[in-house]
């Protein structure tokens, strides 16, 4: 990941095409890459081809994060921290609120219901 971040930083500095990219310009590429991953999975194509397609999505995440970091908004580490916090919050059957592991038996239906309930609470808190 560190090497990928370094490569993106160098491209942003030394490649005019990459340097001119912003979130809006990247959006079609993000959608295209996500669609390609979905198509491969639906076709049953996994292994090496899927690994490469997932790399293309990772590139999008790193590029968006680099642009945000340049603007002083957030970093790739901040993105990782946010998803870690969300996963801990939305999986109370596995984690305590502080992130400590505390797995509890739950059915898939219970897990789905909890996920939806927690997601709705989070949305209500933002509104």
Convert the pLDDT of each residue in 3-44 to its tens digit: 999 999 999 999 999 999 999 999 999 999 999 999 999 999
Provide the pLDDT for residue 62: 97
Provide the pLDDT for residue 124: 93
> SS3 for the chain, per residue?
CHHHHHHHHHHHHHCHHHHCCCHHHHHHHHHHHHHHHHHHHHCCCCCHHHHHHHHHHHHHHHHHHHHHHHCCCCCHHHHHHHHHHHHHHHCCCCECCCCCECCCCCCHHHHHHHHHHHHHHHHHHHC
- Domains in the chain: ranges and CATH: 2-74 (1.10.287.1080), 81-126 (no CATH)
pLDDT at residue 120 tops 90? yes
Provide the pLDDT for residue 71: 97
pTM, entire model:
0.88
Provide the pLDDT for residue 31: 97
Band the pLDDT of 127: cuts 50, 70, 90.
confident
39-80 confidence digits (pLDDT tens):
999 999 999 999 999 999 999 999 999 999 999 999 999 999
């Amino acid at each position: 990941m560190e090497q990928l971040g370094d490569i993106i930083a160098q491209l942003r500095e030394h490649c005019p095409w990459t340097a001119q990219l912003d979130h809006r310009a990247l959006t079609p590429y993000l959608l295209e890459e996500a669609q390609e991953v979905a198509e491969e999975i639906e076709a049953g194509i996994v292994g090496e081809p899927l690994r490469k397609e997932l790399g293309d999505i990772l590139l999008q995440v790193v590029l968006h994060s680099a642009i945000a970091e340049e603007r002083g908004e957030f970093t790739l580490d901040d993105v990782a921290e946010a998803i870690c916090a969300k996963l801990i919050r939305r999986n109370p059957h596995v984690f305590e609120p502080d992130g400590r592991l505390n797995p509890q038996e739950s059915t898939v239906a219970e897990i789905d219901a909890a996920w939806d309930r927690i997601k709705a609470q989070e949305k209500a808190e933002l509104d």
